Amino acid sequence: MTEFGIAATVAISIAAIVVALRMPGGCLRYSFLCSALYLAWVVPQVAALRVDDATPQDGLFWLVIMVVLCLGASLVGWRIGLMQRRPIASVASVRGDIDVVRLFWPVAALTAFMALLHILIDLQPLEARQESQWSGPLTIIAFFLTLGVIGLYLSLFIALRERSPRALMLAGVNIVLGGAAAFVGLRRGPLIEFGIAATAALWFCARKRVPIWLLVAGVVGSGVVIYAIGPLRSAASEIAERAGSSAGLLSIEVWQQVDFAAEIERATRQAADFSNAVHLIDSANRWGVFTYGRQSWDAFVFRWVPAQILGADFKSALMFQQTVDWGQIEANYGYTTIGGTTSTGFGFAYQEFGLFGSFYFLLIGILIGRLWSRAETGDVWAQALYATFAGSALHSVTHHAMWLIVQIPLFLLAIFILRLMAGRGTRYQGPGRGYPLAGR
């Protein structure tokens, strides 16, 4: 049955990718992004656990079922979102036409804020910045840095429409800021988000699709970096300490120090994140350790209730303090987690509601599908949200199912402020463009 589930995941992913590439937008569509992630990241690691004698087979069985359900829920939700006729509230709040000239200064202000955050990161100790999982002030800075995708997309949008020196300079600053986090800081999330934002700008603004050869190279390259991110960071850190500067993926020396074939094979075989998920799922089934939404509530409170203002005790009182008891899992299975790994969105969702945890991914699919429908009408705000949501939706698979959901208020607030600053301008049509910037 496990083999059948893996085969079903492969078949569904390939079918969804083929269909997406034949549709407008191609590789930018969420059905392509989601399926590519399952095919390149989920399937190899789940298949590796199948031949690992130390893996609880019952837990693996239910993990595979969960993988199939979550993939199906994501694609079904995407289709539902595309078919909706009435805009949902979150999208309706950002409707409206926009004048590119009036959009410039709000985006410039957002860019300045992003630059300030990058400066604050540089002021943090090097050891803290090189950790695989940030903590302390870096977590707060990283939270607001997610808004950089909005700035990157909108600056590229302005550059492609206005094509003035100031627009190109604004886009250049955002490219440097986004590229610093992705290619120098070696953060997997920003790397994926950078690619999505650039692809979105090409499609929504210029109606240009990424060539197949470049798409294949990008997918393969991203996969290599994601699987070998640990050794790449170690090599970059060593060079930074020796040379006093950090070049990340831009340094040939960094690439020369990593045996990519061996690292990809090791990471796939070890499958640490999915091994965590298997043990978590098996433990939940055996001892009934289900949390029924308490972890989701805690994640939301942790993100949005400021302890510095309301007090740590007040914040703690609002939370269930529901966390995974890895100590008990270690006692039961003799299994120890590796620092910096996750239990994936599957493990998180399953511990919350069992197989019904796939509802998280159905909801995300519906939201992303609806945003795509609005974005395709020319709504620049929906386009910016789609470029931002898509990457976070993929993180909901790799990290935990609430990843996107807890960030939605921040993204919507940013769009609301930008729209308020830009005002309600007139409809803009660029040279040779016959479609409106924002549909009605």
Output 320-325 pairs: Cβ under 8 A, ≥24 positions apart: 320/291, 320/294, 320/295, 322/291, 322/294, 322/295, 322/298, 323/295, 323/298, 324/280, 324/351, 325/289
The fraction of the chain above a pLDDT of 90, given in percent, is: 52
pLDDT beyond 60 at 169: yes
pLDDT beyond 90 at 433: no
Using N-to-C axis directions, what is the helix angle for 188-206 and 148-162, rounded to 10°? 30
Q: What is the pLDDT of residue 437?
A: 39
Q: What is the pLDDT of residue 326?
A: 87
The single residue listed with the structure tokens 């955050």 is 117
Q: What is the pLDDT of residue 142?
A: 80
Q: What is the pLDDT of residue 217?
A: 81
Distance between CA atoms of 350 and 292, rounded to whole angstroms?
A: 10
More confident residue, 100 or 436: 100
Contacts of 69 (CB under 8 A, 6+ apart): 355, 358
Q: What is the mean pLDDT of the chain?
A: 84
Q: What is the pLDDT of residue 125?
A: 72
More confident residue, 343 or 122: 343
Q: What is the pLDDT of residue 410?
A: 94
Mean pLDDT of the region 232-260: 69
**With bands split at pLDDT 50, 70 and 90, how would you rate the model's confidence at 130?**
low
Q: What is the pLDDT of residue 440?
A: 31
Residues 250 and 183: beta-carbon distance below 8 Å: yes
Q: What is the pLDDT of residue 72?
A: 97
pLDDT beyond 70 at 247: no
Q: What is the pLDDT of residue 154?
A: 96
Distance between CA atoms of 326 and 337, rounded to whole angstroms?
A: 8
pLDDT beyond 80 at 429: no
Mean pLDDT of the region 123-128: 70
pLDDT beyond 50 at 221: yes
Which residue type does 237 have?
Answer: S
pLDDT in tens, 10-68: 999 999 999 999 999 999 999 999 999 999 999 999 999 988 888 999 999 999 999 99
Q: What is the pLDDT of residue 265?
A: 76
pLDDT in tens, 308-359: 778 888 888 999 987 888 888 999 999 988 877 889 999 999 999 999 999 9
Q: What is the pLDDT of residue 218?
A: 78
Task: Specify the pTM.
Answer: 0.87
Residues 116 and 435: beta-carbon distance below 8 Å: no
DSSP-based helix, strand, coil % in the chain, nearest 5: 75, 0, 25
Q: How far is CA 109 from the centre of its chain?
A: 24
Instruction: To the nearest 10°, report the CA torsion of 324, 326, 332, 336.
Output: 150
- How many of the other CB atoms lie within 10 Å of CB of 416? 13
Distance between CA atoms of 273 and 342, rounded to whole angstroms?
A: 5
CA atoms within 13 A on the CB side of 436: 14
Residues 48 and 338: beta-carbon distance below 8 Å: no
Residues 300 and 406: beta-carbon distance below 8 Å: yes
Q: What is the pLDDT of residue 430?
A: 40
Residues 14 and 75: beta-carbon distance below 8 Å: no
Out of 5-19, 148-162, 318-332, 387-401, pick the least confident.
318-332
Mean pLDDT of the region 417-425: 80
* CA angle at 215 for the pair 237 and 438, rounded to the nearest 5°: 105
